[in-house]
Structure 1
Amino acid sequence: MAHAPAVAADHRQNPFGLVYRGAITKNAPGKVNIHPATYKLNGLDIVANVYTPANYDPAKRYAAIVVAHPNGGVKEQVAGLYAQHLAEQGYVTITADAAYQGGSGGAPRSMDKPANRIEDVHGMADFITRYPGVDEMRLGLLGVCGGGGYALSAAKTDKRFKSVATLSMFNSGRVRRNGFADSQLDTVQARLRQASAARAQEMAGGNILYAGDADMTDAQIAALPFEMYRQGYAYYWRTHAHPSSTFKYTMGSLLDLMRWDASDQIDLIDQPLLMIAGGKADSGYMTDDAFAKATGTTDKALFKIDGASHIETYWVPEYVDAAMGKLTPFFARTLVAGGLIKPKAVI
């Protein structure tokens, strides 16, 4: 099915810097409101947006959901879109820029190490569970793309999360190690040596080397071999561009990324799990693999959005609606006061 070109808000015209369609432009009484926040995490300033539901009353008790953004993304893009939609369902939600990325602190910039990204998820939980009106016993987690892989890792051990969902999950470790669709298996050792040399140079005070940093022309984007990357460059560099968002990451980060995998010890997840992916996404193999290995929970479901690619789940209204059509009942069931209601059937 063909879709009209993505139309997004201009971050320069939005007072909160949001770029997604239908973004909040002002805090109005009786509506979902957005609250920029800053907090400390391991000595770094983390910038976040908290969304509160319509008619929010801090004297009441609300379930909350942490939303982890994609690799290279920031809180103003797809993570903000889903955080806003979930707030419309009555949740207090939070999405924050990863440490060393976006508007958050940390140097060198664009460091992308799994331990940091996982700690970001824990840190959002630390902050939002102390937010006025939040019931810390009703905390959910949603991870998008790379944030989905890190959400799975965080939920393995952080049992504050009563349920976890992923959208278009991207296993950053597997892709950085093996290449997309395992297409670079023959160059693993050479790339590890390159990353090792980059770290040595960085630690010696030399220039910091980066991977994934490219300002491509439209023709170059069209020539990329995988649909996810073609549409990803269009999303992040054209239709939903934000000045804090970048694909690049320090070359030295590969030492950590290439020895990590989102599906390692995934059987530690015993919470309810919902994994959503585009039905025609070329990244779907990562969701399929992780879902099959998630044997520690008996309450799990896999949903494929018919006709959707990976990036289209970020912005195409009908696909966003389809994802919300599963997220809404999932979190309603798993974040209820007094405990989990078991499903009658797997969706």
Structure 2
Amino acid sequence: MKKLTSIVAVAMTTFAVDTVYAQYHQKAEQNPFTLVYDGAITKNEKGLVNIHPVTYKLNGFDIKANVYTPAGYDVSKKYGAIVVAHPNGGVKEQTAGLYAQQLSEAGYITIAFDAAYQGASGGEPRHTDKPQYRIEDIRAAADYITQYPGVDANRLGVLGICGGGGYTLKAAQSDKRIKAVATLSMFNSGEVRRNGFQNSQLNTIPLRIKQASDARAQEATSGKSPLSGVASISDEEIAKTAADLYREGFEYYYRTHAHPNSTFLYTTSSLMDLMTWDATDQIELINQPLLMIAGSKADTKYMTDEAFIKAVNAKNKELFLVEGATHIQTYWKSEYVSEILSKLLNFYQANL
């Protein structure tokens, strides 16, 4: 547990954003839509899945999103729609886009968006990561996609990945437009920011809340927002990272699937909201069908287990384990993605 504590302690340190891994952004630069996942669309072709970059307003600023329409898309027909919420630190061009594209290949209209204050979306200060904003992001995506030509507003599903999964659970508690709720490698951001990864920082909760409060005071007096997280990391530091989530996460976000808009940073003051929030609070309000997916070897699986047990009123709820998969491997590894997609399609087809 000592190693885990040290990892999270590093993640709580404030860094200056002074390094850009340009060499790892080649995938984004080479794709006209800056998509970095394997099999990504490179151009729109008639008769195939197409991608449509869109912009819509939320609380006065722009949200950037990609809508995927299925092969043979016809506005006179009616399609089910799925909102895909990206992981913490992620953007729409990474795993959220991968699943949005593949679900569209199965006949759904899907939307992957950048959270407010993050990615290509508007909002200041940058890297703000407050639960209430992330939940509103999902609702706003639902607002937009249910009005999209051809969408049957009564057939709306959601897929939340990692931190997006925790926020999706919260959104589904009150937004009953959502008819089917799925999470993948769910990460309860409030629990981890409060207790530390795998509850490794319980003895420093008061100190860290005080640090967040001090950061808020600094924002008020100076207009500058201190940042927490990891702005850059060396190959050696990655190799020495003990936890699969962080080691493989650094590799994914800063190496193999790097995107210029994706960072591990968040405003330190966001912890005032994160540390007093929990994805499972009032989870009994979810009465829609619920599918929760996690890798059997994921070191984050405990969060899915906790939430699943508490979702006592969810209909036809199911916990599905991807045998042999870690948390990050569910984002990209082809054999795991295929298995996950098959399970998701069965779920959505049965409930949308």
TM-score, normalized by the shorter chain, greater than 0.5: yes
Structure 1 residue 306 displacement after superposition: 0.3
Query: 2:193 aligned with 1:176, yes or no?
Result: yes
Secondary structure in 2 aligned to 1:94?
strand
Q: Residue 273 of structure 1 aligns to a residue in which SS? A: strand
Q: Which residue of 2 aligns with 1:136?
A: 153
Aligned to 1:158: 175
Q: Displacement of 1:214 after TM fit?
A: 3.0
Structure whose residues are more often helix by fraction: 2
Q: Structure 2, unaligned stretches of length 5 or more?
A: 1-23
Q: Which amino acid aligns with 1:252?
A: S
Q: Is it true that 1:228 corresponds to 2:231 in the alignment? A: no
Q: Answer whether contact 2:25 2:260 (CA < 8 A) is retained.
A: no
Q: 1:9 to 1:285 in 2, by over 3 A?
A: farther
Q: Does 1:120 align with 2:137?
A: yes
Residue 25 of structure 2 contacts residue 258 of structure 2 at CA under 8 Å; is this kept in 1? no
Please, what is the CA RMSD of the aligned residues?
A: 1.1
Give 1:275's aligned residue.
292
- Does 2:66 match 1:49? yes
1:206 deviates by 4.4
- The answer to whether 1:99 aligns with 2:116 is yes
**TM-score normalised according to structure 2 size:** 0.92
What residue ranges of structure 1 are gaps of 5+ in the alignment? 1-6, 336-347
TM-score normalised to structure 1 length: 0.93
> In the alignment, is residue 87 of structure 1 matched against residue 104 of structure 2?
yes
Determine which structure has greater relative contact order: mean sequence separation of CA pairs < 8 Å that are 6+ residues apart, divided by chain length. Answer: 2
Alpha-carbon distance in 1 for matches of 2:167, 2:242: 26
Match of 2:95 in 1: 78
After the TM superposition, which residues 190-201 of structure 1 pair with which residues of structure 2 at under 5 Å, given as runs? 190-201=207-218
Could you tell me which residue of structure 1 aligns to residue 264 of structure 2? Answer: 247
Q: In the aligned structure 2, how far is the partner of 1:298 from the partner of 1:40?
A: 33
Equivalent of 1:37, from 54, 63, 81? 54
Q: Which whole-Å CA distance do the structure 2 matches of 1:50 and 1:71 have between them?
A: 20
Give the secondary structure class of the aligned counterpart of 2:222. Answer: coil
Which residue does 2:30 correspond to in 1? 13
> Is the contact between residue 210 and residue 248 of structure 1 (CA under 8 Å) also seen in structure 2?
yes
CA distance in 2, matches of 1:203, 1:8: 35
Separation in 1 of the partners of 2:263 and 2:26?
Answer: 18
State whether structure 2 residue 192 is matched by structure 1 residue 189: no
Q: Is structure 2 residue 79 aligned with structure 1 residue 62?
A: yes
**What's 1:343 paired with?**
none
Query: Could you say which residue in structure 1 is the equivalent of 2:6?
Result: none
Q: Which residue of 1 aligns with 2:228?
A: 211
What letter is aligned with 1:179?
Answer: G
> Which AA in structure 1 matches 2:213?
S
SS of the residue 1:212 aligns to: strand
Aligned-partner Cα distance in 1 for 2:76–2:25: 35
Match of 2:42 in 1: 25
Indicate if the aligned counterparts of 1:162 and 1:272 stay in contact, CA closer than 8 A.
yes
Q: 2:318 aligns with which of 289, 301, 312?
A: 301
Contact 1:9–1:23 (8 Å) recurs in 2: no
Q: Deviations over 1:89-129 (max 9, x none)?
A: 10000011000000000000000000000000000000000
Q: What secondary structure sits across from 1:140 in the alignment?
A: strand
Shift of 1:248: 0.2
Partners of 1:215 and 1:105 in 2: CA distance: 23
Q: Is the 8 A contact 1:8 1:20 kept in 2?
A: no
Shift in Å at residue 9 of structure 1? 7.3
Percentage of identical aligned residues: 64
How far apart are the structure 2 equivalents of 1:155 and 1:323? 21
1:262 CA displacement: 0.4
